[in-house]
Amino acid sequence: MRLSANYFSNTFKKTMGLPFVKYLAKIRVEKAKQLLHDLDYTVYQVASEVGYSDSRYFSRVFKSFEGKTPSEYRNARLVK
């Protein structure tokens, strides 16, 4: 069975309460938050690990969910 992109998108949003793209970004940001605790990873590496080839775009997406950039998030965690 093949689903059209439009049908999938509408069904996903009705079921999950948010669009698939936003859901996927949320999952990626949650994984990125875990990886940012490991200081062996650079922000660029974290971005790549969670599926973003452009670390600047990743930073914008991350900030839209967390209110701070990945570097700011990491630094705030280090201060505690």
The reported pLDDT for the residue numbered 1 is 75
Instruction: pLDDT band for 3, please (50, 70, 90 cuts).
Output: confident
Helix/strand/coil (H/E/C) assignment for every residue in the chain: CCCCHHHHHHHHHHHHCCCHHHHHHHHHHHHHHHHHCCCCCCHHHHHHHCCCCCHHHHHHHHHHHHCCCHHHHHHHHHHC
Task: Decide if pLDDT at 65 tops 90.
Answer: yes
Q: What is the pLDDT of residue 78?
A: 76
Average pLDDT, the chain: 94
Question: The pTM is what?
Answer: 0.87
Domains of the chain, each with CATH number or no CATH: 20-79 (1.10.10.60)
CA distances 1 to 4, 14, 68, Å, are: 10, 20, 42
More confident site: 19 or 2: 19
- What local confidence, expressed as pLDDT, does residue 80 receive? 62
The pLDDT of 31-56, averaged and rounded, is 96
Q: Are 33 and 73 in contact (CB under 8 A)?
A: yes
